[in-house]
Protein backbone atom coordinates (compact mmCIF):
# COMPACT_ATOMS: atom_id res chain seq x y z
CA UNK A 1 0.00 0.00 0.00
CA UNK A 2 1.22 3.51 -0.82
CA UNK A 3 -0.19 6.98 -0.26
CA UNK A 4 -2.01 7.01 -3.57
CA UNK A 5 -4.06 3.99 -2.46
CA UNK A 6 -5.27 5.52 0.80
CA UNK A 7 -8.93 6.37 1.30
CA UNK A 8 -9.68 9.98 2.27
CA UNK A 9 -10.23 8.87 5.88
CA UNK A 10 -6.88 7.08 6.08
CA UNK A 11 -5.12 9.97 4.36
CA UNK A 12 -6.31 12.22 7.18
CA UNK A 13 -4.90 9.75 9.72
CA UNK A 14 -1.59 9.70 7.85
CA UNK A 15 -1.38 13.50 7.89
CA UNK A 16 -2.05 13.45 11.65
CA UNK A 17 0.69 10.86 12.17
CA UNK A 18 3.20 12.75 10.02
CA UNK A 19 2.53 15.89 12.06
CA UNK A 20 3.04 14.12 15.41
CA UNK A 21 6.49 12.77 14.42
CA UNK A 22 7.67 15.80 12.44
CA UNK A 23 10.07 16.75 15.23
CA UNK A 24 12.05 13.49 14.95
CA UNK A 25 11.56 12.50 11.31
CA UNK A 26 14.73 12.47 9.22
CA UNK A 27 14.64 14.83 6.20
CA UNK A 28 15.32 11.93 3.80
CA UNK A 29 12.48 9.81 5.20
CA UNK A 30 9.78 9.60 2.51
CA UNK A 31 6.04 9.66 3.12
CA UNK A 32 5.78 6.09 1.81
CA UNK A 33 8.38 4.96 4.36
CA UNK A 34 6.49 6.74 7.12
CA UNK A 35 3.23 5.09 6.08
CA UNK A 36 4.61 1.64 6.92
CA UNK A 37 4.57 2.48 10.65
CA UNK A 38 0.93 3.49 10.50
CA UNK A 39 0.00 0.32 8.62
CA UNK A 40 1.84 -1.77 11.23
CA UNK A 41 -0.42 -0.31 13.93
CA UNK A 42 -3.66 -0.56 11.94
CA UNK A 43 -3.83 3.21 11.46
CA UNK A 44 -3.88 3.92 15.18
CA UNK A 45 -2.00 7.22 15.23
CA UNK A 46 -1.04 7.13 18.93
CA UNK A 47 0.30 3.56 18.76
CA UNK A 48 2.19 4.28 15.53
CA UNK A 49 3.81 7.35 17.10
CA UNK A 50 4.90 5.34 20.15
CA UNK A 51 6.34 2.62 17.92
CA UNK A 52 8.19 5.13 15.73
CA UNK A 53 9.74 7.01 18.67
CA UNK A 54 10.74 3.83 20.49
CA UNK A 55 12.45 2.56 17.34
CA UNK A 56 14.29 5.85 16.93
CA UNK A 57 15.59 5.55 20.49
CA UNK A 58 16.62 1.93 19.80
CA UNK A 59 18.57 3.05 16.73
CA UNK A 60 20.33 5.82 18.64
CA UNK A 61 21.14 3.67 21.67
CA UNK A 62 22.54 0.81 19.55
CA UNK A 63 24.22 3.12 16.99
CA UNK A 64 22.40 1.34 14.18
CA UNK A 65 22.90 4.14 11.65
CA UNK A 66 26.66 3.47 11.78
CA UNK A 67 26.59 -0.33 11.85
CA UNK A 68 27.41 -0.95 8.17
CA UNK A 69 30.42 1.34 8.29
CA UNK A 70 31.83 0.70 11.77
CA UNK A 71 31.11 -2.94 12.69
CA UNK A 72 32.80 -6.03 11.31
CA UNK A 73 30.73 -9.20 11.84
CA UNK A 74 32.45 -12.28 13.26
CA UNK A 75 34.02 -14.42 10.53
CA UNK A 76 31.94 -17.47 11.43
CA UNK A 77 28.71 -15.57 10.68
CA UNK A 78 29.96 -14.29 7.34
CA UNK A 79 31.05 -17.78 6.29
CA UNK A 80 28.37 -20.01 7.78
CA UNK A 81 25.19 -17.97 8.24
CA UNK A 82 23.43 -19.16 5.10
CA UNK A 83 22.26 -15.99 3.39
CA UNK A 84 23.13 -13.66 0.55
CA UNK A 85 21.69 -11.30 -2.03
CA UNK A 86 21.89 -11.90 -5.78
CA UNK A 87 20.06 -8.89 -7.18
CA UNK A 88 16.44 -7.77 -7.29
CA UNK A 89 12.98 -9.02 -8.18
CA UNK A 90 10.80 -7.64 -11.00
CA UNK A 91 9.62 -4.87 -8.65
CA UNK A 92 13.22 -3.70 -7.96
CA UNK A 93 13.08 -5.08 -4.41
CA UNK A 94 16.35 -6.56 -3.08
CA UNK A 95 16.36 -10.34 -3.43
CA UNK A 96 17.75 -12.41 -0.55
CA UNK A 97 18.25 -16.17 -0.41
CA UNK A 98 18.43 -17.93 2.95
CA UNK A 99 19.50 -21.58 2.66
CA UNK A 100 18.30 -22.30 6.18
CA UNK A 101 18.11 -26.05 5.70
CA UNK A 102 21.87 -26.21 5.10
CA UNK A 103 22.77 -24.06 8.10
CA UNK A 104 24.50 -25.50 11.17
CA UNK A 105 22.40 -23.56 13.67
CA UNK A 106 23.88 -25.28 16.71
CA UNK A 107 27.44 -24.67 15.51
CA UNK A 108 26.77 -20.98 14.92
CA UNK A 109 25.18 -20.48 18.32
CA UNK A 110 28.15 -22.19 19.97
CA UNK A 111 30.54 -19.85 18.15
CA UNK A 112 29.18 -16.33 18.77
CA UNK A 113 27.56 -14.38 21.56
CA UNK A 114 23.83 -13.77 21.43
CA UNK A 115 24.55 -10.05 21.11
CA UNK A 116 26.69 -10.57 17.99
CA UNK A 117 24.13 -12.93 16.46
CA UNK A 118 21.33 -10.38 16.84
CA UNK A 119 23.62 -7.59 15.68
CA UNK A 120 24.29 -9.55 12.49
CA UNK A 121 20.55 -9.77 11.81
CA UNK A 122 20.36 -5.98 12.15
CA UNK A 123 23.46 -5.63 9.94
CA UNK A 124 21.85 -7.69 7.14
CA UNK A 125 18.56 -5.79 7.43
CA UNK A 126 20.34 -2.44 7.27
CA UNK A 127 22.24 -3.67 4.21
CA UNK A 128 18.93 -4.51 2.55
CA UNK A 129 17.58 -1.04 3.33
CA UNK A 130 20.69 0.49 1.79
CA UNK A 131 20.00 -1.59 -1.34
CA UNK A 132 16.41 -0.27 -1.37
CA UNK A 133 17.75 3.28 -1.43
CA UNK A 134 20.13 2.42 -4.27
CA UNK A 135 17.36 0.69 -6.25
CA UNK A 136 15.08 3.68 -5.73
CA UNK A 137 17.74 5.97 -7.21
CA UNK A 138 18.32 3.66 -10.18
CA UNK A 139 14.66 3.01 -10.99
CA UNK A 140 13.27 6.43 -10.16
CA UNK A 141 10.47 4.72 -8.24
CA UNK A 142 10.24 4.14 -4.46
CA UNK A 143 11.50 0.71 -3.37
CA UNK A 144 10.26 -0.05 0.14
CA UNK A 145 10.32 -3.84 0.43
CA UNK A 146 12.47 -6.93 -0.03
CA UNK A 147 11.87 -10.42 -1.35
CA UNK A 148 13.15 -13.49 0.47
CA UNK A 149 13.64 -17.10 -0.63
CA UNK A 150 13.93 -19.53 2.29
CA UNK A 151 15.31 -22.90 1.14
CA UNK A 152 14.59 -25.75 3.56
CA UNK A 153 16.47 -28.43 1.62
CA UNK A 154 18.31 -30.69 4.12
CA UNK A 155 16.25 -29.26 6.99
CA UNK A 156 16.34 -31.20 10.27
CA UNK A 157 14.26 -30.82 13.42
CA UNK A 158 17.55 -30.68 15.31
CA UNK A 159 17.91 -27.13 13.98
CA UNK A 160 14.92 -26.03 16.06
CA UNK A 161 16.63 -26.20 19.44
CA UNK A 162 15.29 -24.24 22.41
CA UNK A 163 18.30 -21.93 22.14
CA UNK A 164 17.49 -21.17 18.51
CA UNK A 165 13.77 -20.74 19.21
CA UNK A 166 14.55 -18.27 22.02
CA UNK A 167 16.90 -16.22 19.85
CA UNK A 168 14.38 -16.48 17.01
CA UNK A 169 11.79 -14.74 19.20
CA UNK A 170 14.26 -11.92 19.88
CA UNK A 171 15.02 -11.68 16.14
CA UNK A 172 11.33 -11.47 15.29
CA UNK A 173 10.71 -8.80 17.93
CA UNK A 174 13.59 -6.66 16.63
CA UNK A 175 12.35 -6.89 13.04
CA UNK A 176 8.68 -6.27 13.80
CA UNK A 177 9.42 -3.36 16.14
CA UNK A 178 11.99 -1.58 13.96
CA UNK A 179 11.47 -2.66 10.33
CA UNK A 180 7.69 -2.80 9.84
CA UNK A 181 6.10 -3.88 6.59
CA UNK A 182 9.49 -4.61 5.03
CA UNK A 183 8.62 -7.79 3.14
CA UNK A 184 7.00 -7.92 -0.29
CA UNK A 185 7.16 -11.69 -0.79
CA UNK A 186 8.53 -14.75 1.02
CA UNK A 187 9.03 -17.96 -0.96
CA UNK A 188 9.52 -21.01 1.26
CA UNK A 189 10.75 -23.91 -0.85
CA UNK A 190 11.66 -27.58 -0.33
CA UNK A 191 9.34 -27.70 2.64
CA UNK A 192 9.40 -31.07 4.45
CA UNK A 193 6.24 -32.73 5.71
CA UNK A 194 7.02 -31.96 9.34
CA UNK A 195 7.24 -28.22 8.58
CA UNK A 196 3.82 -28.32 6.93
CA UNK A 197 2.32 -29.83 10.08
CA UNK A 198 3.84 -27.10 12.26
CA UNK A 199 2.73 -24.36 9.86
CA UNK A 200 -0.87 -25.61 9.90
CA UNK A 201 -0.88 -25.07 13.67
CA UNK A 202 0.55 -21.55 13.38
CA UNK A 203 -1.47 -20.49 10.34
CA UNK A 204 -4.69 -19.48 12.19
CA UNK A 205 -2.67 -16.93 14.19
CA UNK A 206 -1.26 -15.15 11.12
CA UNK A 207 -3.00 -12.15 9.62
CA UNK A 208 -4.46 -12.33 6.12
CA UNK A 209 -1.92 -9.68 5.03
CA UNK A 210 0.97 -11.87 6.22
CA UNK A 211 -0.43 -15.01 4.62
CA UNK A 212 -0.83 -13.15 1.31
CA UNK A 213 2.94 -12.55 1.24
CA UNK A 214 3.82 -16.25 1.65
CA UNK A 215 4.19 -18.82 -1.12
CA UNK A 216 5.04 -22.28 0.18
CA UNK A 217 6.28 -25.21 -1.91
CA UNK A 218 7.33 -28.77 -1.24
CA UNK A 219 10.22 -30.49 -3.06
CA UNK A 220 8.54 -30.04 -6.47
CA UNK A 221 11.40 -28.07 -8.05
CA UNK A 222 9.51 -27.29 -11.25
CA UNK A 223 6.64 -25.73 -9.30
CA UNK A 224 8.80 -23.44 -7.18
CA UNK A 225 11.19 -22.54 -10.00
CA UNK A 226 8.24 -21.50 -12.18
CA UNK A 227 6.84 -19.45 -9.29
CA UNK A 228 10.18 -17.72 -8.69
CA UNK A 229 10.53 -16.80 -12.36
CA UNK A 230 7.08 -15.22 -12.34
CA UNK A 231 8.42 -12.53 -10.00
CA UNK A 232 12.21 -12.63 -10.55
CA UNK A 233 14.09 -12.24 -13.84
CA UNK A 234 16.31 -15.21 -14.62
CA UNK A 235 19.50 -13.14 -14.69
CA UNK A 236 18.90 -12.17 -11.03
CA UNK A 237 18.52 -15.77 -9.87
CA UNK A 238 21.17 -18.49 -9.39
CA UNK A 239 20.94 -21.39 -11.82
CA UNK A 240 20.25 -23.76 -8.93
CA UNK A 241 17.02 -21.86 -8.29
CA UNK A 242 15.91 -21.78 -11.92
CA UNK A 243 17.77 -18.70 -13.15
CA UNK A 244 20.80 -18.20 -15.37
CA UNK A 245 23.24 -16.72 -12.85
CA UNK A 246 26.39 -18.73 -12.15
CA UNK A 247 29.74 -18.05 -10.51
CA UNK A 248 32.87 -17.43 -12.64
CA UNK A 249 33.80 -21.10 -12.06
CA UNK A 250 30.35 -22.23 -13.18
CA UNK A 251 28.95 -22.94 -9.70
CA UNK A 252 25.11 -22.83 -9.94
CA UNK A 253 24.69 -21.88 -6.25
CA UNK A 254 26.57 -18.58 -6.73
CA UNK A 255 28.73 -19.04 -3.66
CA UNK A 256 30.46 -15.73 -4.35
CA UNK A 257 27.15 -14.06 -3.47
CA UNK A 258 25.47 -16.47 -1.07
CA UNK A 259 26.79 -18.48 1.86
CA UNK A 260 25.34 -21.97 1.69
CA UNK A 261 26.05 -22.72 5.33
CA UNK A 262 27.59 -26.07 6.09
CA UNK A 263 29.02 -27.57 9.27
CA UNK A 264 30.78 -24.99 11.45
CA UNK A 265 34.32 -26.18 12.32
CA UNK A 266 34.76 -26.66 16.06
CA UNK A 267 37.75 -24.33 15.91
CA UNK A 268 35.17 -21.51 15.92
CA UNK A 269 33.43 -22.78 19.06
CA UNK A 270 33.64 -20.64 22.17
CA UNK A 271 36.03 -22.10 24.69
CA UNK A 272 34.57 -24.15 27.52
CA UNK A 273 37.29 -22.72 29.76
CA UNK A 274 36.68 -19.50 31.68
CA UNK A 275 37.86 -16.49 29.66
CA UNK A 276 40.86 -14.57 30.95
CA UNK A 277 40.03 -11.46 32.91
CA UNK A 278 41.90 -8.17 32.75
CA UNK A 279 44.21 -7.10 35.57
CA UNK A 280 42.28 -3.88 36.18
CA UNK A 281 38.84 -5.46 36.43
CA UNK A 282 36.73 -5.02 39.53
CA UNK A 283 35.27 -8.14 41.12
CA UNK A 284 31.94 -8.84 42.79
CA UNK A 285 30.03 -11.88 43.93
CA UNK A 286 26.48 -12.07 42.60
CA UNK A 287 24.74 -14.30 45.16
CA UNK A 288 22.42 -17.12 44.18
CA UNK A 289 18.89 -15.83 43.69
CA UNK A 290 20.04 -12.22 43.71
CA UNK A 291 21.10 -9.27 41.54
CA UNK A 292 23.99 -6.80 41.44
CA UNK A 293 23.04 -3.27 40.36
CA UNK A 294 25.69 -0.68 39.48
CA UNK A 295 24.70 2.97 39.09
CA UNK A 296 26.42 5.05 36.42
CA UNK A 297 26.03 8.82 36.12
CA UNK A 298 26.13 10.29 32.62
CA UNK A 299 26.59 14.04 32.38
CA UNK A 300 26.12 14.59 28.64
CA UNK A 301 23.87 13.00 26.07
CA UNK A 302 25.57 11.07 23.26
CA UNK A 303 28.17 9.81 25.71
CA UNK A 304 28.98 6.11 25.47
CA UNK A 305 28.67 3.53 28.23
CA UNK A 306 31.18 0.77 27.51
CA UNK A 307 31.45 -2.53 29.36
CA UNK A 308 33.38 -5.75 29.48
CA UNK A 309 32.78 -8.57 31.92
CA UNK A 310 33.34 -12.25 32.56
CA UNK A 311 31.85 -14.67 35.08
CA UNK A 312 32.73 -17.95 36.71
CA UNK A 313 30.38 -20.90 37.27
CA UNK A 314 27.84 -20.07 34.60
CA UNK A 315 25.99 -17.38 32.69
CA UNK A 316 24.38 -14.24 34.09
CA UNK A 317 21.46 -12.00 33.16
CA UNK A 318 22.40 -8.53 31.92
CA UNK A 319 20.36 -5.40 31.33
CA UNK A 320 20.65 -1.61 31.40
CA UNK A 321 17.93 0.76 32.59
CA UNK A 322 17.64 4.54 32.83
CA UNK A 323 16.24 6.14 35.99
CA UNK A 324 13.88 9.02 35.28
CA UNK A 325 13.51 11.97 37.64
CA UNK A 326 10.41 10.45 39.25
CA UNK A 327 12.20 7.15 39.85
CA UNK A 328 10.58 5.27 36.99
CA UNK A 329 12.91 2.79 35.27
CA UNK A 330 13.10 2.80 31.48
CA UNK A 331 14.60 -0.28 29.86
CA UNK A 332 17.47 0.71 27.58
CA UNK A 333 18.97 -2.72 26.93
CA UNK A 334 16.48 -5.54 27.59
CA UNK A 335 17.52 -8.33 29.93
CA UNK A 336 19.20 -11.31 28.33
CA UNK A 337 21.24 -14.21 29.67
CA UNK A 338 24.86 -13.89 28.61
CA UNK A 339 27.36 -16.75 28.32
CA UNK A 340 30.06 -14.64 29.94
CA UNK A 341 31.60 -17.78 31.45
CA UNK A 342 32.60 -18.81 27.90
CA UNK A 343 33.79 -15.53 26.44
CA UNK A 344 34.24 -11.96 27.61
CA UNK A 345 31.12 -9.91 26.95
CA UNK A 346 32.02 -6.57 25.37
CA UNK A 347 29.64 -3.86 24.25
CA UNK A 348 28.59 -0.24 24.29
CA UNK A 349 25.50 1.92 24.00
CA UNK A 350 25.05 5.58 23.15
CA UNK A 351 23.22 7.53 25.87
CA UNK A 352 20.29 9.51 24.54
CA UNK A 353 19.57 10.87 28.03
CA UNK A 354 21.82 12.40 30.67
CA UNK A 355 21.37 11.25 34.25
CA UNK A 356 21.50 7.92 36.07
CA UNK A 357 21.78 4.55 34.39
CA UNK A 358 21.79 1.21 36.19
CA UNK A 359 23.68 -1.81 34.91
CA UNK A 360 22.21 -4.97 36.37
CA UNK A 361 23.78 -8.40 36.62
CA UNK A 362 20.97 -10.85 37.39
CA UNK A 363 21.49 -14.22 39.08
CA UNK A 364 17.95 -14.50 40.45
CA UNK A 365 17.18 -17.57 38.34
CA UNK A 366 20.04 -19.54 39.95
CA UNK A 367 18.78 -20.83 43.30
CA UNK A 368 21.95 -22.53 44.50
CA UNK A 369 24.94 -21.17 42.58
CA UNK A 370 26.54 -17.78 43.14
CA UNK A 371 28.49 -16.21 40.26
CA UNK A 372 31.87 -14.54 40.51
CA UNK A 373 31.88 -11.42 38.32
CA UNK A 374 34.79 -9.37 36.96
CA UNK A 375 33.96 -6.19 35.08
CA UNK A 376 35.02 -2.83 33.70
CA UNK A 377 32.44 -0.12 33.03
CA UNK A 378 33.44 3.24 31.56
CA UNK A 379 31.63 6.36 30.42
CA UNK A 380 33.20 8.04 27.40
CA UNK A 381 31.97 11.63 27.36
CA UNK A 382 30.59 13.08 24.18
CA UNK A 383 32.62 15.82 22.56
CA UNK A 384 29.46 17.43 21.18
Query: What top-level class would CATH report for the domain 282-380?
Result: mainly beta
Nearest to 131 by CA among 80, 95, 169: 95
CATH superfamily to which 71-268 belongs: CRAL-TRIO lipid binding domain (3.40.525.10)
Q: pLDDT of the chain along its 384 residues, tens only?
A: 778 889 999 999 999 999 999 999 988 889 999 999 999 999 999 999 999 999 999 999 999 999 999 999 999 999 999 999 999 999 999 999 999 999 999 999 999 999 999 999 999 999 999 999 999 999 999 999 999 999 999 998 888 888 888 898 899 899 999 999 999 999 999 999 887 777 777 777 677 778 899 999 999 999 999 999 999 999 999 999 999 999 999 999 999 999 999 999 999 998 766 677 777 899 999 999 999 999 999 999 999 999 999 998 889 999 999 999 999 999 999 999 998 988 889 999 999 999 999 999 999 999 899 999 999 999 998 765
Nearest to 35 by CA among 58, 8, 4: 4
Backbone phi, psi, residue 98, to 5°: -115, 105
List every span in the chain annotated with CATH 1.10.8.20. Answer: 3-61
SS (H, E, C) the chain: CCHHHCCHHHHHHHHHHHHHCCCCCCCCCCHHHHHHHHHHCCCCHHHHHHHHHHHHHHHHHCCHHHHHHHCCCCHHHHHHCCEEEEEECCCCCEEEEECHHHECHHHHHCCCCHHHHHHHHHHHHHHHHHHHHHHHHHHCCCCCCEEEEEECCCCCHHHCCHHHHHHHHHHHHHHHHHCCCCEEEEEEECCCHHHHHHHHHHHHHCCHHHHHHEEECCCCHHHHHHHHHHHCCHHHCEHHHCCCECCCCCCCCCCCCECCCECCCHHHCCCCCCCCCCCCCEEEEECCCCEEEEEEEECCCCCEEEEEEEEECCCEEEEEEEECCCCCEEEEEEEEEECCCCCCEEEEEECCCCEEEEEEEECCCCCCCCEEEEEEEEEECCCC
CATH tag, 3-61: 1.10.8.20
List every span in the chain annotated with CATH 3.40.525.10. Answer: 71-268
Amino acid sequence: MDLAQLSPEKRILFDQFAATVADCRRPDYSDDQLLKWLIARDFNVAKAETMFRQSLEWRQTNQVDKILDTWTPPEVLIKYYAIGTTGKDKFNCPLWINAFGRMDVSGILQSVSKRDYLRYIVYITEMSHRLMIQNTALSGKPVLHQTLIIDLAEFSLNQLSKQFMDIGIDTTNICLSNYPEGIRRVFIINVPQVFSAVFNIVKPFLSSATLAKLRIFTHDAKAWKDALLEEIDSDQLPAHYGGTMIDPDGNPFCLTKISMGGVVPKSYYLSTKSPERGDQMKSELVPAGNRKRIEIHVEKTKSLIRWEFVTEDGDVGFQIVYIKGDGEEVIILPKTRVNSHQMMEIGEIACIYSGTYVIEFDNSYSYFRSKKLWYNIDVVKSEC
